[in-house]
Amino acid sequence: MAELEKVQQIKADLQAQYDEANEKAQILEEKATKTKRKMDQANRLINGLADNKVRWIDDADNFANLKLNLVGDVAKASAFVSYCGPFNTEFRDKLSENYFMKDLIDRNIPCTETLDLTEFLVDQATIGEWNLQGLPTDPLSI
């Protein structure tokens, strides 16, 4: 009986060790699953960001170009607002392109050659608000 009790005690100790090892293995397995899930999410994020890299580089180049041309664009827009208000579209375009743009080029002031003054001076939301208030929607009025 003493030997049987001793063997049962050894068996109980081994079972406790086995249960403890199984519990540790399960915890490690759960951690591995969570880590794998996080790595998959990180890889998806990295791949998504890599796809945007080209767009970001283009945006950075466009921003540098915009910044370079800003002085000339603002000068052209200011001249337009100051001098072109009372004139029709045809004369406004003539002043803007033949005089203001030529002056900027003659003075070597960088500017956007295809600058749309309406888009430069006002955003679409404001134009939409004007339309809702019943103001004319033609380009001359805008």
Q: Which domains does the chain have, with CATH numbers?
A: 2-132 (1.20.920.20)
User: Whole-structure pTM over 0.75, yes or no?
Assistant: no
User: What's residue 140's pLDDT?
Assistant: 74
Confidence of residue 142 (pLDDT cuts 50, 70, 90): confident
- Residue 83: is it exposed, middle or buried by C-beta count within 10 angstroms (0-12/13-18/19+)? middle
User: What's residue 17's pLDDT?
Assistant: 94
76 and 104 Cβ atoms separated by less than 8 Å? yes
Confidence of residue 4 (pLDDT cuts 50, 70, 90): confident
- Summarize the confidence of residues 63-76 as an average pLDDT: 89
Distance of CA 89 to the CA centre of its chain: 36
User: What's residue 53's pLDDT?
Assistant: 81
Q: Does residue 106 surpass a pLDDT of 80? A: yes
Q: Does residue 24 surpass a pLDDT of 90? A: yes
